[in-house]
Amino acid sequence: MNFLVTGGAGFIGSYLSEALLAAGHSVVGLDDLSTGSEKNLVNLKGKSGYSFVNGTMMDEDLVRDLVSGVDGVFHLGAALGVKRILERPYESLVTNMHGTEIVVKAAAARKVRTFLASTSEIYGKNPNQPLNEESDRVIGSPLLVRWAYSEAKAIDESLIQMFHQMNGLPFVTGRFFNTVGPRQTGAYGMVLPSFVSAALAGKPITVYGDGSQQRVFGHVLDAVDAVMKLFFNDKAIGHAFNIGGEGEVSIKQLADGDCGDWIVIEDRDDSL
């Protein structure tokens, strides 16, 4: 089968593309390299069955053309990371909402099975743990730009559900919980690569708040395995699933390891 992977040069997208190729499929990767990197494609370029398009999911004609030639879509393209959202709030909001609309509409026109990448951020700060797929959203004030990513991804989920109900678009949504591993960059606020980079450079590790925030980290290869199992399972169609790991760790515990010092600099929680 032939698949389109938006965000194909990204952290998860590049691993997913490799897994699809290894399973005998063909892959077209679409990425504008704004947060993705050509370095992530070293194991893909030149491989039989793989092609890469340097373009944006905001280009409706391009997306429609690419979707017309595939059997399925993995929509991972997004503006992500708290740092990026705070620095470019409007651009990020439009990319995450309108970009997904373009991809979903193109997929719905041909009823092409689609995987939508969502996020644990949609749950916001719901105190009722552990979270399940039916848990309520508890988010902060809309006056805080920090919640724009959560809002946009929730709308993305509603959008694809609408096309499923109206047009029969087969889809499955995966909500990623703190996926980590090689190739992940800390440039956009991701906590683990940020901590590792600081430790390797011999610099203090920055912790926001008191560090008591709990996180569960999942390896990228496990996340990709879950994505593929869900995508090819007919029983998963029309549903959303949490994709994460096991075992909670506080941000303070993470920083207090043998990797260096930690410091509280602000009473806020921006660590994803």
Q: Which sequence positions are flagged as catalytic?
A: 149
Contact predicate 178/272, CB 8 Å: yes
Q: What is the dihedral of CA 31, 32, 37, 43, to 10 degrees?
A: 30
**Is there a cis peptide before residue 130, judged by omega within 30 degrees of 0?**
yes
User: The tokens 């994709």 sit on which residue?
Assistant: 243
Q: What are the tokens at 142?
A: 């809309």
Q: Which residues of 219-242 are buried (b: 16+ CB within 10 A; e: fewer)?
A: ebeebbebbbebbeeeebeeebeb
Separation CA 200–CA 128 (nearest Å) = 36
What type of residue is 61? D
Find where tokens 């919640």 sit. Answer: 147
Residue 219 CA to residue 179 CA, distance in Å, equals 6
Could you tell me the two tokens for 34? 């704004």
Residue with tokens 């709308």: 155
User: Is 168:113 a contact under the CB 8 Å cutoff?
Assistant: no
